[in-house]
Structure 1
Amino acid sequence: MVYQTDLDAVLDFPILIGDIGGTNARFAIVVDSYAEPREFPVLFTADFPTIDDAIQSVLDQTSLLPRSTVLAVAGPVDGDEIDLTNSDWVVRPKQMMKTFGFGDVIVLNDFEAQALAVVALGEAHLEKIGGGSAETVGSRVVLGPGTGLGVAGLVHAQHTWIPLPGEGGHIDLGPRTERDYEIFPHLERIEGRISAEQVLCGRGLVNLYRAIAAADGKEAPFSDPAEITSAGLERSNPLATETLDLFVTYLGRVAGDLGLIFMSQGGVFLTGGIVQKIVPALRNGVFRAAFEDKAPHRTLMAEIPVYVITHPMAAVCGLGAYARTPGRFGVETAGRRWRAR
């Protein structure tokens, strides 16, 4: 694994940064190493045929001409054409350099940016969900149900924070309780398996809602995740209420598993629009009970703090921190950086 040296890491300002998800694209420009990112309105990926069209719409709003860009995309970065997992956009760094005159293009995984945000954000943008005190340089993990389920780790070594991207949202998710065994046969599968992402994302929430309805032989009138979460939070619909409770339970189980894998004594961080909207459900004890139910390590799990990241542009903040002071982070750029010089 090859990491940047401080010299290699330097980027020319201004720097365009972008957090590109399956549904939304968030852009900002970092003018210099002391400036906070200048944010632009959030774009819907469906409104633009290509990412280059979206970038052009951003640049049309400013007189600044970025010399570098750092993009975080929802999907693995492999080769000169990078497909997004839940979008038709394809990132072509070499073409971007020709189109926009960028001298430097770095493409990271979107949850790598979320991991960077974990150390870039202050307490004002973190809401604690139980546990003890976080170790200052303890390992951390971030996960977020959104269009899909993103996961990344963050470890500290040699005075450097090193993000660990991956596709952890696709780990297996299995039943434990009798109720689970009633519901799981009705969950939509991919090639015969149920991954965490099949439940813990927007479409996964709908998948779970319909599976509960099928298990009970009931109608499932809601088709939008926001309808289900709203009714679940209001406790106005028994089916939506159980769906939200189980969603929170399964999120707690997966978050706890990842906390064990990374021994995340620096904290487990939940991010994304869904968790920000369901904080009351995360605080009612169901999530924390599932998170800690990891015998024989229940005592260990009770000490690991969990935080909800409440900043709406968290990944942009993480990318901004990296763009300003890349030497602070051990970001692997081999095969993920394109330079004109």
Structure 2
Amino acid sequence: MPNIMDQEAIIHFPILIGDIGGTNARFAILVDAYAQPKEFPILATADFETIEEAIQTCVLDKTSVQPRSAIFAIAGPVDGDETPLTNCPWVVRPKQMMRDFFLEDVIVLNDFEAQALAAASLDDEHRHRIGGGEIDSNASRVVLGPGTGLGVAGLVYSNHNWIPVPGEGGHIDLGPRTERDFAIFPHIEAIEGRISAEQVLCGSGMVNLYRAVCKADEIKPAYKAPHEITAAGLEGADPVAAETLSLFATYLGRVAGDLALVFMARGGVFLSGGIAQKIVPVLERPEFRAAFEDKAPHSALLKSIPTNVITHPLAALFGLASFARTPIRFGVATEGRRWRA
């Protein structure tokens, strides 16, 4: 007979799972612990006024399955009965969702907490190795992903459980080191006098960095969007775009190395999100790993830590599904983040 802790961990199927970012939202329904998630088309958050409208229109109106529970991963810190998303006007209101959708149970996690849950479960098929090092299967891990913002989470293994550690690590300071950095950094837009990692290592940050390189070299910018800079840089058609990608990889390596030290991440550092997947050829060049490992007096330690790009197209949903199937395997703290009828 299950004990009280087992009962507390139970999440009743069918379960609606959702990865809700600043730009896009992804939903699926997990019918039972053995079924593959039934996925629904990715939707743009800007197309819907509220999350409730999006769920009703794009999920519940498209299936006969009535979820009993829901687990959402949102782009921002979870804060009480009404949680606004960081880069999107949606507000997550679990109590209202329970009334509107007849749910018995709603859990709200941070989006990179879900990425961390995925990092505990993904196999080699969905990991692209960058550089050397070997994964210690029971050691701490770090996930970071440049996207609409820069998401960061840790993953700690303790007492046979994987414990995700969400945070706002994307807002740590980023500063210049080389002569070229000192020429470029004065032109990077600062917020209240500081430059955070997210101001460079995200979609809009890539544009910010590109414009700074242009200003440093007194060149008129030719591109306005990150996908344009990425395409031109990968093709080698534009030297400024190519340098922007090179610097982006360097700064991403520096931040990834710092976080690896913070978490002693012998289990590996995992890069998630669409930007990382698109610039794999740049990350495979020497700059990323060189910056990652350049952490004297601990360079030897960093050389032993592997870095991987997560290639699963729906990694956060995969992580949520893993948690939904076997919640007792994960030390997810749900106090203040779980609502039950």
**Cα deviation digits, residues 33-60 of structure 1 (max 9, x gap):** 1112111110110111000011102111
Partner of 2:111: 110
1:258 matched to 2:255? The reply is no
1:300 matched to 2:286? The reply is no
Moved over 3 A (4+): none
Partner of 2:233: 232
Partner of 2:5: 5
Q: Is the 8 A contact 1:171 1:196 kept in 2?
A: yes
Q: Is the 8 A contact 1:26 1:40 kept in 2?
A: yes
Partner of 2:242: 241
**CA separation in 2, counterparts of 1:120 and 1:37?**
15
Partner of 1:43: 43
1:89 matched to 2:90? The reply is yes
1:291 matched to 2:292? The reply is yes
Partner of 1:20: 20
**CA separation in 2, counterparts of 1:214 and 1:143?**
29
Shift of 1:5: 3.3
**CA separation in 1, counterparts of 2:139 and 2:132?**
14
**CA separation in 2, counterparts of 1:249 and 1:136?**
27
Shift of 1:158: 0.5
Letter of the structure 2 residue corresponding to residue 74 of structure 1: A
**CA separation in 2, counterparts of 1:107 and 1:301?**
34
Shift of 1:174: 0.5
Q: Is the 8 A contact 1:6 1:326 kept in 2?
A: no
Letter of the structure 1 residue corresponding to residue 15 of structure 2: I
Q: Is the 8 A contact 1:97 1:105 kept in 2?
A: yes
Letter of the structure 2 residue corresponding to residue 56 of structure 1: Q
Note the residue ranges of structure 2 that are not aligned, 5 or more in a row. none
Shift of 1:299: 0.8
**Cα deviation digits, residues 183-207 of structure 1 (max 9, x gap):** 1111111111100000000000000
**CA separation in 2, counterparts of 1:147 and 1:26?**
15
Q: Is the 8 A contact 1:143 1:149 kept in 2?
A: yes
Alignment of 1:187-198 (within 5 A): 187-198=188-199
Shift of 1:131: 2.0
Overall identity of the aligned pairs, in %: 69
Alignment of 1:1-341 (within 5 A): 5-57=5-57, 58-340=59-341
**Cα deviation digits, residues 143-187 of structure 1 (max 9, x gap):** 000000000000000100000000000000000011111111111
Tell me the secondary structure at the aligned position of residue 137 of structure 1.
Answer: coil
**CA separation in 2, counterparts of 1:197 and 1:136?**
29
Shift of 1:317: 0.2
Letter of the structure 2 residue corresponding to residue 231 of structure 1: A
Q: Is the 8 A contact 1:81 1:91 kept in 2?
A: yes
Classify 1:95/1:223 alpha carbon distance in 2 versus 1 (closer, same or farther; 3 Å).
same
Q: Is the 8 A contact 1:152 1:164 kept in 2?
A: yes
Shift of 1:208: 0.2
**Cα deviation digits, residues 220-244 of structure 1 (max 9, x gap):** 0200100101111111101101100
Tell me the secondary structure at the aligned position of residue 303 of structure 2.
Answer: helix
Q: Aligned-residue CA RMSD in angstroms?
A: 0.8
Aligned length: 337
Letter of the structure 2 residue corresponding to residue 331 of structure 1: V
**CA separation in 2, counterparts of 1:313 and 1:301?**
28
Shift of 1:7: 2.1
**CA separation in 1, counterparts of 2:120 and 2:155?**
9
Tell me the secondary structure at the aligned position of residue 70 of structure 2.
Answer: strand
Note the residue ranges of structure 1 that are not aligned, 5 or more in a row. none
Letter of the structure 2 residue corresponding to residue 77 of structure 1: V
Higher RCO (C-alpha 8 Å, min separation 6): 1
Instruction: Report the TM-score, using the length of structure 2 for normalisation.
Output: 0.98
Shift of 1:6: 2.7
Shift of 1:119: 1.7
**CA separation in 2, counterparts of 1:197 and 1:289?**
21
**CA separation in 1, counterparts of 2:7 and 2:161?**
15
